[in-house]
Amino acid sequence: MEILNFILPFLILLTVVVFVHEYGHYYFAKKYGVGVTDFSIGFGKEIFGFSDKSGTRWKFCLIPLGGYVKFFGDRNVFSEIEQKELLKKYNENDQKKLFGAKPLYQRTLIVAGGPLANFLLAILIFSFIYMFSGKDFTPAKIEEVQIDSPAYISGLKKDDLITYINDKKIQSIVEVSATINSSSKDDLKISVLRNNQELEFILNPKIISTSDSFGNQVKRKIIGVKLSPLNNEFEKKKLGPSKSLYYATKETWFVTKTSFEFIVSMFKGKGDSSQLGGPIRIAKITGQVSQHGFLAFISIMAYISISLGFINLFPIPLLDGGHLMFYLFEKILGRPLKQKTQEGFFRIGLFLLFSLMFFTTFNDLKDLGLF
């Protein structure tokens, strides 16, 4: 029964974010007249489904870890010659439905539609939360500075009001920890307001191993301060549609930006690779968060949706970003890459994806105490 508490929320979350992602591809494909033969949630054997009037098969499959949209006459077109040969196999009406026969900008939008839909879903969820639950605007006042802590050494004092961290404006007490822990930089630049004067401090946070609110082992950056609401009052405000959209877009951009910075730090050998997780860790966290109610559940859905959109933009063949990379080469060269070249990229992409899957699965199992 406890397993169901983790698996069921995870499957619901995954189904929603994958459906939205694939629908992004589907929307632009239909907009530009591309035939869609399959819209699948999951891989492998079909469990159930139906066919619509246009001939698209909508289905749920046995392995629920992903999904795909299959286009009419779907195949890789490696060269202009192959494209001409492909067109000969179809009549004039069917040629109009071929994905490979569409102009480059249309193919680009169709492929980019998946990640774009994930980012839009996150913005929609954050906007909903800010409108109906509210957004916290409690100023971050320092209540206490621990002796010999990074904050103490740098010169931060009691009653300082934190205004910026690494040039990111801090508008809420809850943003302080999130901003510090999402930073990929060794040092933190913290701006505070002290006696109506703006001061700036540089400090090096400590990294400690601790437990989060769910009991999971995590590594956190701490600077050694205790925060309290200004005047001991929390300020949570319900926002109008336009402000909600603004802050939702801002939050989505912040998560995407920090994710990119983390990946860059990984390549530099500075990022903490133990923070990377796969389906097992996501399922565990989703199950834990869902026990705190609907708003907590859709919040984690928004962050997972951003992650899915972001990862799919990696320039790795088999991912959307890999196709966009090929289209960039096609734009520069004036023709598609040759078959041998694309096949070489696909082999590299397959190796990278399997390596990433192995690594994240190892981290997941290690997180469960199996290693």
One domain, residues 219 and 98: no
Q: Specify the 3-state DSSP secondary structure of 221.
A: strand
Indicate whether 117 and 142 sit together in one domain.
Answer: no
Assess whether 82 carries a catalytic annotation.
no
Q: For residue 125, which amino acid is it?
A: I
Sequence-separated contacts (24+) of 87-94 with Cβ below 8 Å: 94/35
Of 348, 327, 175, 359, nearest in space to 250 by CA: 175
Check residue 207 and give its pLDDT: 82
Angle between helices 104-132 and 320-333 (to 10 degrees): 140
8 A C-beta contact, residue 353 and residue 268: no
Most distant CA atoms of the chain, gap in Å = 79
Strands (E), the chain: 36-51, 57-71, 135-136, 140-145, 161-165, 168-169, 188-194, 197-203, 206-211, 217-222, 225-229, 236-237
pLDDT of residue 1: 44
Q: Which residue reads 């834990």 in tokens?
A: 288
Task: Determine the residue type at 280.
Answer: I
38 and 115 assigned to the same domain:
yes
Are both 169 and 208 inside the same structural domain? yes
Instruction: Please state, in angstroms and rounded to a whole number, the distance separating the CA atoms of residues 290 and 297.
Output: 5
> Would strands 188-194 and 161-165 be described as parallel, antiparallel, or unpaired?
antiparallel
| Residue pLDDT tens, the chain, 371 long | 455 667 888 888 999 999 999 999 999 999 999 999 999 999 999 999 999 998 899 999 998 888 999 988 765 555 555 666 667 777 778 778 888 888 899 999 999 999 999 999 999 999 999 999 999 888 888 899 999 888 889 988 898 898 998 888 888 888 888 888 877 777 889 899 998 899 998 988 888 877 665 556 667 888 888 887 766 677 888 999 999 999 999 999 998 998 888 888 777 666 665 566 666 666 667 777 777 788 889 999 999 999 999 999 998 888 899 889 989 988 898 888 777 787 788 788 778 777 777 766 665 555 655 44
Distance CA 111, CA 312 (A): 10
From the CB of residue 108, how many other CB atoms can be counted at a distance below 10 Å?
Answer: 18
**Residue where a domain terminates, one of 193, 214, 237:** 237
Same domain, 114 and 148: no
Residues 94 and 144 in one domain: no
Q: Are 165 and 190 in contact (CB under 8 A)?
A: yes
- 196, 219, 237 - which closes a domain: 237
Crossing angle for the helix pair 279-290 and 294-311, nearest 10 degrees? 160
Residue 272 pLDDT? 62
The answer to whether the beta carbons of residues 98 and 50 sit under 8 Å apart is: no
Question: What's the predicted TM-score (pTM) here?
Answer: 0.86
23 and 80, same structural domain? Answer: yes
Residues 147 and 111 in one domain: no
- For residue 296, being part of any structural domain is answered with no
Is residue 257 domain-resident?
A: no
Q: 271 lies in a domain?
A: no
Continuous segment of H or E residues that includes residue 312: none
- Under a CB-based contact definition with an 8 Å cutoff, are residues 278 and 264 in contact? no
- Per the structure, the count of domains in the chain is 2
Q: What is the pLDDT of residue 271?
A: 60
Last residue of a domain, one of 214, 237, 260: 237
User: Domain residues for 359?
Assistant: 2-132+302-367
Q: Are residues 318 and 354 in the same domain?
A: yes
Report the pLDDT value the prediction gives residue 28, as an integer from 0 to 100: 96
Q: Please indicate, yes or no, whether residues 149 and 126 belong to a single structural domain of this protein.
A: no
Residue 101 lies in a domain: yes
Q: Are residues 35 and 107 in the same domain?
A: yes
- 287 within domain boundaries: no
The CATH number of whichever domain residue 156 belongs to comes to 2.30.42.10
Asked, for residue 85, whether it belongs to a domain, the answer is yes
Catalytic residue among 22, 80, 82, 235: 22
Domain presence at residue 192: yes
Tokens found for residue 150: 């990074």
244 in any annotated domain: no
Distance (Å, whole) CA 119 – CA 263: 18
Instruction: Tell me the CA distances in angstroms from 75 to 24, 35, 40, 164, one per residue in order.
Output: 20, 13, 17, 50
Are both 151 and 65 inside the same structural domain? no
